Amino acid sequence: MSISENDIKALRKTSSRGFRLACSIGISLVITLFLIATVIHMWLCYRFAVQAGFSVVEVFSKWIVGISEPEVYLGILLLAVQRLQMALTSLAVAMILGLTLWGLLATSNRNARILKFLEENKT
């Protein structure tokens, strides 16, 4: 099994400083947006919970256990639960993107080491 010129080009592209910088900046911006969305949704959850006479912990408990039928007619409580779900979803997406960024940068560093090894052992 030999390494083709296309493999070398791919290693150069994915181990370049520009690639790492573009991935870091791009994904970090998206992570920041999702974290801001998480804060906004948690704030809205808190505001809706206060209007319904609950705390955020009680809203979380209602989300896990379920909302009783009389509370369903309290639409503001449903809005609080919905915002809590949106906040947790945004937080999960930010965590997944963080892991993706970590994986991309680790792969880029590995590719740089492979490229360095290939260039040193070129015969």
Interatomic CA distance for residues 58 and 49, integer angstroms: 8
Interatomic CA distance for residues 88 and 85, integer angstroms: 5
Interatomic CA distance for residues 38 and 93, integer angstroms: 10
Of residues 85 and 114, more confidently modeled: 85
pLDDT, one tens digit per residue, over 58-101 is: 999 988 998 888 777 778 889 999 999 999 999 999 999 999 99
Whether pLDDT at 123 is above 80: no
Say if pTM beats, i.e. exceeds, 0.85.
Answer: no
Q: What are 63's two structure tokens?
A: 């989300």
